[in-house]
Amino acid sequence: MPDKVRIALDTMGGDHGPSVTVLGAELSLGRHPNIEFILFGDRALVEPLLEARPRLKAASRFVHTEVSVGMDEKPSQALRHGRWKSSMWLAIDAVKKHDADVAVSAGNTGALMAMAKFHLRTMPGIERPAIAGLWPTIRRPSVVLDLGASIGADASHLVNLAMMGSAMARVLYGLERPNVGLLNIGVEEVKGLEEVREAGRLLREAELPFLDYKGFIEGNSIGQGEIDVVVTEGFTGNIALKAAEGTARQLARHLKAEMTRTIWTKLGYLLARSAFRSLADKMDPGKANGGVFLGLNGIVIKSHGNTDAQGFAYAVDIGHDMVHHALLAKIGEMLAMDRRDLTRPREVGGSRSS
């Protein structure tokens, strides 16, 4: 890994601010010594943490700002008071000015998306950006999008999501042609799914070179991990991912409580704890922390707001990987190549023979 990856960090974002984000940056730097950070935040909070971490300090440039975007601020509010000067804006601005390759923030999603969209603008051919996340499965995590950036989607937006998500899966896993599925429900002949069916038809007929369309997928199959990229509109995607996260967390909590009820179950827990650790490693949504904003002229990574340093480090890792493996170039390449096959969504002829 010789190439530098320059990461702009909104240190003030998230429920815990610098105490989590700066520590997370240090953890990720340990794994990726080729990172250079630009840290945006309040001197009083960030500098003491940096002083205690000479290695991180040596790899970082610090930029002071007293303005930060609150976790509960509405996007319009945040844009009004935080533009030009908040740590969130400055991190995005660094990407805009090519001072950084990627921005990472644990700040509030709505504000981050609004600022990113306003400042970076969408890529040619993309009307609405999307948020892609990683869904823990019994195999490796699958890419799921959109997680809430766009509500409702016509067929052509769903096709765009499929292409952008596939570019991300190529970057993450080095896949030539990731498997793609459209999230759908099993009930036949129900009204209102025309756009999903139409998107399915488009993807099937186009036989795109960079993705392998596998048809519809139902909610209970996502966690099997056989589909690399699961596509749906943002409302459903957000709720489905959170429902799955909640279920995993509640099961773990319930099991833990049951495990400590008697001396025998406690002993059983001690003997079997490697199994539990493996479970947590594999299925903990925190380990797959990091939503990737797709479709913008720049890469922005959104970490969970209530994550710990470990979780934030995963988000930084994802930012690093996206840059290191040239996500933006791959999306561009995909859109350019695939448009030749898809041209305009309603006019697809079909028969590629490769």
306 binds a second copy (CB under 8 A): no
80 binds a second copy (CB under 8 A): no
Alpha-carbon distance of 152 to 143, in angstroms, equals 19
250 binds a second copy (CB under 8 A): yes
15 binds a second copy (CB under 8 A): no
Alpha-carbon distance of 165 to 146, in angstroms, equals 9
309 binds a second copy (CB under 8 A): no
Nearer to a second copy, 224 or 343 (CB): 224
- Candidates 1, 44, 58, 239; binder of a second copy (CB under 8 A) is 239
1 binds a second copy (CB under 8 A): no
3-state SS class at 37: strand
Residues 196-235 touching a second copy, rule: CB under 8 A, are 218-224, 232, 234-235
Of 193, 110, 103, nearest to 155 by C-alpha is 193
Of 182, 286, 299, nearest to 236 by C-alpha is 182
- Candidates 242, 339, 340, 352; binder of a second copy (CB under 8 A) is 242
Q: How far is the CB of 69 from a second copy (least distance, A)?
A: 12
- Candidates 133, 148, 165, 345; binder of a second copy (CB under 8 A) is 148
Angle at Cα 202 formed by Cα 199 and Cα 206, nearest 5°?
A: 145
Q: How far is the CB of 193 from a second copy (least distance, A)?
A: 6
Q: How far is the CB of 255 from a second copy (least distance, A)?
A: 5
156 binds a second copy (CB under 8 A): no
278 binds a second copy (CB under 8 A): yes
Of 132, 137, 131, nearest to 116 by C-alpha is 131
279 binds a second copy (CB under 8 A): yes
Q: Is the peptide bond before 284 cis (omega within 30 degrees of 0)?
A: no
270 binds a second copy (CB under 8 A): yes
Q: How far is the CB of 88 from a second copy (least distance, A)?
A: 15
Q: How many residues does the chain have?
A: 354
- With contacts defined by CB under 8 A, name the span among 62-70, 143-151, 163-171, 204-212 that binds a second copy: 143-151
Nearer to a second copy, 1 or 243 (CB): 243
- Candidates 245, 317, 321, 338; binder of a second copy (CB under 8 A) is 245
**Where do runs of H (alpha helix) occur along the chain?**
18-31, 43-51, 54-58, 75-82, 87-96, 109-120, 155-173, 194-206, 234-259, 263-271, 273-283, 309-324, 327-342
275 binds a second copy (CB under 8 A): yes
Assess contact for 95 and 300: CB atoms under 8 A. Answer: yes
Count of residues binding a second copy (CB under 8 A)?
72
- Candidates 176, 189, 344, 346; binder of a second copy (CB under 8 A) is 189
Alpha-carbon distance of 20 to 312, in angstroms, equals 7
Q: How far is the CB of 39 from a second copy (least distance, A)?
A: 26
- By CB atoms closer than 10 A (0-12, 13-18, 19+), residue 272 is exposed
Alpha-carbon distance of 216 to 33, in angstroms, equals 41
Residues 59-78 touching a second copy, rule: CB under 8 A, are 74-76
**Residue 250 corresponds to which tokens in the numbers above?**
């509640």
Q: How far is the CB of 349 from a second copy (least distance, A)?
A: 28
294 binds a second copy (CB under 8 A): no
The per-residue b/e assignment along 275-295, b for 16 or more CB within 10 angstroms, e otherwise, is eeeeeeeebbbbebbbbbbbb
Draw the binding track, 28-57, toward a second copy (x: CB under 8 A; -: no contact). ------------------------------
- With contacts defined by CB under 8 A, name the span among 86-94, 96-104, 119-127, 236-244 that binds a second copy: 236-244
